[in-house]
């Protein structure tokens, strides 16, 4: 499709102002009622030998300054707590004393060195309703069980071979690290 000389001048002016192809496409529709595909707009700009301006931040701008989100906007991803942080908090990892609701006894397992031999596997197919992923875990003391991660990213242990078992803080931390790495390897 060819544009009239008036339309070509308008496109040239818009590109000179720094508009990108999608903005030019929208302006053509709004101003001239000319509907072109994105690729057709690209060809028009090329045919007119126009150079699109790159929207590059100025060198003197402060790129390291945190941006202020508008009120009510969701927090940026970097400020959201991820799966590993939530799980560590729930299990009490990195705290002086684990929270009581985690079920740990103060001082339990302190004699065991970190990395006491926890093994984690991820099932290829998760058949549990509401579970994002699942697999098996064997702790350093030989107790094994199944784990799941629900749709909200919360980890949980099921079918433990020893009733009422709670892993030591060292085992819990290693479990969370291995679980995180295993899930990342699988694309979660």
Phi, psi of 184 (to 5 degrees): -65, -40
- Asked, for residue 178, whether it belongs to a domain, the answer is yes
pLDDT computed for residue 67 by the predictor: 56
Domains identified in the chain, total number: 2
pLDDT computed for residue 65 by the predictor: 53
Domain that holds residue 40: 5-47
Strand partners, 21: none
pLDDT computed for residue 102 by the predictor: 43
Chunked mean pLDDT (size 10), the chain, 188 residues: 89 92 92 90 90 65 54 56 62 52 40 58 73 86 86 82 86 86 77
Residues in contact with 100: Cβ distance below 8 Å, sequence separation at least 6, in sequence order? none
pLDDT computed for residue 55 by the predictor: 62
pTM: 0.39
- Asked, for residue 35, whether it belongs to a domain, the answer is yes
C-alpha–C-alpha distance, residues 108 and 99, integer Å: 13
Task: State the pairing for strand pair 144-150/155-158.
Answer: antiparallel
- Asked, for residue 170, whether it belongs to a domain, the answer is yes
- Both 87 and 167 in a single domain? yes
Q: Is 149 helix (H, G, I), strand (E, B) or coil?
A: strand
- Asked, for residue 161, whether it belongs to a domain, the answer is yes
- Both 28 and 102 in a single domain? no
């Amino acid at each position: 499709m060819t544009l009239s000389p008036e339309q070509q001048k308008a496109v040239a002016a818009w590109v000179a102002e720094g508009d990108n192809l999608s903005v030019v496409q929208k302006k053509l529709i709004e101003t001239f009622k000319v509907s072109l595909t994105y690729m057709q707009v690209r060809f028009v700009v090329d045919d007119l030998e126009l150079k699109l301006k790159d929207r590059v931040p100025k060198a003197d701008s402060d790129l390291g300054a945190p941006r202020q989100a508008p009120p009510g906007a969701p927090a940026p991803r970097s400020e959201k707590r991820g799966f590993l942080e939530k799980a560590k908090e729930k299990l009490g990892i990195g705290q002086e004393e684990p929270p009581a609701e985690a079920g740990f006894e103060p001082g339990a397992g302190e004699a065991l060195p970190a990395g006491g031999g926890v093994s984690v596997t991820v099932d290829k197919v998760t058949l549990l309703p509401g579970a994002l992923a699942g697999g098996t875990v064997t702790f350093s003391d030989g107790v094994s069980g199944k784990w799941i991660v629900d749709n909200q990213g919360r980890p949980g242990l099921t079918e433990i071979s020893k009733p009422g078992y709670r892993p030591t803080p060292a085992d819990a931390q290693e479990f969370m690290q291995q679980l995180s790495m295993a899930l990342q390897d699988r694309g979660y």
